[in-house]
Structure 1
């Protein structure tokens, strides 16, 4: 991730989380893992399913040449070992792969002057994950936006947090008009 600020940590907590004394939920860690997976899949255009299968089967093999995740494979171990994070990340990534073209169209419509190809890989991946959650998951919209901004601040460029915040808010407005306001089910472990 060009211009990223830090790598995923074994504890999966940010400085803000440490100050507040809170630990990230399985869903928060799952979003972080899903971000890494979506960024990794971009290195395998046309072979996303095969790359995803390999990611789940043998993460250490990523060290053999993946330009994005290779050096971080060891640091991803704790996230991969977290069953709640794995479940949530799998749900998010599969949600994106099930309708990648539709999700990308929604993002381009909400981002107005920004085409996906011009966006930083981290920003693009975060917006894709946010769209999956905003489209029908039970996570409250404000949590989806806040989590995207948190991850953009942590892994994106200097401008990522503001950019992701603006586009994610626009996505929430667009998708709110297309869906009922009430979540399908309570969000267990929703982030504050």
Structure 2
């Protein structure tokens, strides 16, 4: 597993836990930063995970607007938490990280959805991110 794949999983953990607990994303990020300081062996995944979460914090309203616009009849608060978090990560990568090719951003989110969410989540995440990619 590449360090970026590990970083995406780590960012997903942060977004998911903040969402489930009702914590501010900045609070969850600070807690993970404290933990990361004691785990230098995981530094490679931490740096990109932090970049992702910072990006989601900085562009949260725009990201959620994109997801809502392109999710076709799915309200954000009705989506499984894992899917919502993956869509936020994927949308940030698609729209604000020029270093990640579109296909990679979508594929990584889809693979995590297949592994960690419902049977339909991979197709759902793919559809929403593909529509976002085409519209921008």
TM-score by length of 1: 0.65
Q: Deviations over 1:35-91 (max 9, x none)?
A: 1110011134363322321222147xxxxxxxxxxxxxxxxx98x842221111100
SS at match of 1:43: helix
Partner of 2:95: 135
For 1:121 and 1:148, the matched residues in 2 are separated by 13
Deviation at 1:101, TM superposition (A): 1.1
1:148 to 100, 109, 120: 109
Aligned counterpart, 1:103: 63
C-alpha distance in 1, partners of 2:93/2:2?
Answer: 16
Instruction: Indicate whether 1:52 and 2:29 are aligned.
Output: yes
Residues 44 and 51 of structure 1 are in contact (CA less than 8 Å); yes or no, is this contact kept in structure 2?
Answer: no
Residues 1:126 and 2:126 aligned together: no
Higher relative contact order (CA 8 A, sep 6+): 1
Q: How many corresponding residue pairs?
A: 134
Indicate the structure with greater helix content: 2
* RMSD (Å) for aligned C-alpha atoms: 1.9
Residue 43 of structure 2 corresponds to 83
Report the secondary structure of 1:42's partner residue.
Answer: helix
Aligned to 2:131: 170
Unaligned 5+ runs, structure 1:
1-23, 60-76, 176-192
Question: 138, 149, 159: which is aligned to 2:120?
Answer: 159
Alignment partners' CA distance in 2, 1:32 and 1:134: 17
Distance across 2 between alignment mates of 1:43 and 1:114: 19
SS at match of 1:112: coil
Maintained 8 Å contact 1:30/1:86: yes
Structure 2 match to 1:27 = 4
Q: Is the contact between residue 110 and residue 174 of structure 1 (CA under 8 Å) also seen in structure 2?
A: no
